[in-house]
């Protein structure tokens, strides 16, 4: 059997260090992200020196935290359901819906036609409840009826957007795309408050990231997500309740999207039915650039956090350089496709090594 040892790719590549075969690519990717963030910062700063101003960095952190929080949910969805084609396209609309519910149920809304007037905390809770439940509905359809996640969440994207319009109309008494404006201290905490130099939502983001990372790495539930992402039938035969897991995962994504929507609403001090349109692109970028494999079973929260910073940096930097928005779409779309290609290249490389060792 000693001949087998000679066949293991990790050893072929001179991997004297343990774990060299498995861990290096991820670490390399995270290192690359850090370098890319630094290089882009230098690049943007050379074109627009105000990029490194306190205001700009604060703005960047707020945006990164918002996309990052929603991206945490996306990361969990793709890790666990990637083998089923798992993705959540509804996050942009869910953000809009969360914001509209949170603002629309407020007692402090300026456009005070809304019949329901709740304290801000309760309004926010309602928002999270609704988006979390809608996420669970997506999960239920995917798990029970074995529907493609892409199709279900595409439908949910439209349903949530429709509900957002209804919610805004309900709150201000007429359909008005301008949306709900309000002033509320709790929303300001989300949108404007700082802990020292760091925006409060950045702290919230890092706490949530740590929680999710702990869940993935150190709990039995987290482990079952990686198993499910590796192979769903396998997960079932290992005794994992696959249906329940899928429902929970999409509920988490919906809930975090709702939270992202509340943050967006706090930053803008208004909730528009058109809010967060197309934000699913940024959120999927955050997960994929962070190293989460679209085929499932692989991903890291550190990567997601770094990618959230990178994606927001690109957004902020391009804005500051006055790059027209259509060019921004072009650039961001290209970056996403490149990230997916890199994932494929990594997979092809590891499966080639499998063939050689067979």
Partner 1 sequence: MVASSTPQPLLRMEGITKSYGSVQVLHGVELSVGRGEVLGLLGENGAGKSTLLNILNGVIQRDTGSIVIDGSPVEFTGPKQAQEAGLAFIHQELSVLPYLSVAENVFLNRLPRRKGAPWLVDWAACYRQAGEILERLAVKIHPRTLVGSLGTAEQELVEIAKALSMNARIITMDEPTASLTESEIERLFTLMRALKADGVSVIYVSHRLDEVAEICDRATILRDGKIVNTVDAQTTDSHALATMMVGRELSELFPKTEHERGRETLRVSNLSTVKVDDVSFTAHAGEVLGIAGLVGSGRTELVRAVFGADPITSGEVFVNGEAVTLDSPGTAIRHGIGLVPEDRKLQGAVLSMTNAHNITLAGLSKVSRWGQLDRGGEKQAAKRLIQDLQVTPSRIEQETGRLSGGNQQKVVLAKWLFAGSDILIVDEPTRGVDVGARAAIHGLLNDLAGQGTTIIMISSDLPEVMGMSDRILVMHEGRIAGELPRKDFSEEAIVMYASGLEPTTEGAKA
Residues that bind partner 1 (CB under 8 A): 1-14, 18-19, 21-22, 218-221, 223-224, 226-227, 230-231, 233-241, 297-298, 353-354, 356-358
| Residue number, 2 or 46, with CB nearest to partner 1 | 2
Residues 6+ apart with CB under 8 A from 308: 64, 65, 67, 68, 71, 205, 286, 290
| Residue number, 3 or 325, with CB nearest to partner 1 | 3
CB of 241 to partner 1, least distance (A): 6
CB of 295 to partner 1, least distance (A): 9
CB of 234 to partner 1, least distance (A): 5
- Residue 129 CA neighbour count, 13 Å, CB half: 8
CA dihedral 11, 302, 335, 91 (to 10 degrees): 130
| Residue number, 54 or 218, with CB nearest to partner 1 | 218
CB of 28 to partner 1, least distance (A): 17
| Residue number, 2 or 322, with CB nearest to partner 1 | 2
Asked whether 262 and 127 are in contact (CB, 8 A), the reply is: yes
> Which tokens in the block code for residue 257?
């999207």
Supply the DSSP symbol for 197: T
| Residue number, 195 or 221, with CB nearest to partner 1 | 221
CB of 64 to partner 1, least distance (A): 29
> Which tokens in the block code for residue 42?
């230098």
- Terminal-residue alpha carbon distance, the chain: 14
Distances (CA, A) of 330 to 42, 73, 125, 338: 22, 25, 37, 12
CB of 229 to partner 1, least distance (A): 8
| Residue number, 9 or 155, with CB nearest to partner 1 | 9
Helix (H) / strand (E) containing 342: helix 325-357
To which residue do tokens 């004297």 refer?
16
CB of 76 to partner 1, least distance (A): 16
Residues 6+ apart with CB under 8 A from 87: 74, 77, 78, 81, 149, 150, 153, 284, 294
The C-alpha atoms of residue 212 and residue 75 are separated, in whole angstroms, by 10
CB of 221 to partner 1, least distance (A): 6
Question: What does the DSSP assignment read for 227-276?
Answer: HHHH-HHHHHHTT--HHHHHHHHHHHHHHHHHHHHHHHHHHHTEE-TTTT
| Residue number, 169 or 302, with CB nearest to partner 1 | 302
| Residue number, 119 or 222, with CB nearest to partner 1 | 222
Asked whether 278 and 256 are in contact (CB, 8 A), the reply is: no
């Amino acid at each position: 059997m000693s001949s087998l040892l000679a066949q293991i790719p990790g050893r072929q590549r001179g991997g004297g260090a343990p774990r060299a075969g498995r861990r290096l690519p991820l670490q390399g990717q995270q290192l690359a992200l850090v370098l890319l963030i630094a290089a882009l910062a230098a690049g943007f700063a050379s074109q627009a020196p105000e990029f490194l101003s306190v205001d700009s960095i604060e703005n960047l952190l707020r945006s990164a935290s918002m996309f990052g929080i929603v991206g945490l949910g996306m990361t969990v969805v793709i890790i666990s359901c990637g083998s089923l084609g798992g993705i959540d396209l509804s996050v942009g609309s869910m953000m809009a819906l969360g914001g509209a519910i949170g603002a629309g149920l407020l007692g402090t809304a300026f456009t005070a036609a809304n019949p329901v007037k709740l304290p801000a905390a309760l309004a926010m809770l309602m928002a999270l409840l609704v988006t979390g439940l809608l996420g669970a509905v997506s999960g239920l359809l995917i798990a029970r009826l074995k529907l493609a996640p892409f199709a279900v969440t595409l439908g949910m994207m439209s349903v949530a957007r429709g509900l957002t319009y209804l919610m805004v109309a309900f709150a201000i008494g007429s359909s008005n795309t301008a949306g709900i404006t309000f002033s509320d201290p709790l929303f300001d905490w989300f949108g404007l408050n700082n802990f020292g130099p760091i925006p409060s939502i950045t702290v919230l983001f890092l706490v949530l990231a740590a929680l999710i990372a702990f869940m993935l790495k150190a709990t039995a539930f987290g482990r079952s997500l990686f198993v499910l992402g590796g192979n769903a039938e396998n997960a079932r035969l290992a005794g994992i309740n696959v249906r329940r897991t899928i429902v929970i995962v999409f509920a988490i994504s919906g809930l975090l999207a709702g939270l992202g929507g509340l943050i967006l609403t706090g930053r803008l001090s208004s909730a528009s039915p058109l809010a967060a349109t197309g934000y699913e692109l940024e959120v999927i970028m955050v997960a994929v650039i962070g190293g989460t494999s679209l085929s499932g079973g692989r991903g890291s929260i550190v990567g997601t956090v770094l990618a959230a910073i990178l994606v927001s940096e690109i957004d902020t930097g391009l804005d500051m350089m006055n790059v027209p928005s259509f060019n921004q779409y072009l650039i961001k779309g290209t970056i996403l496709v490149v990230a997916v290609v890199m994932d494929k290249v990594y997979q092809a490389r590891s499966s080639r090594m499998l063939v050689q060792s067979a």
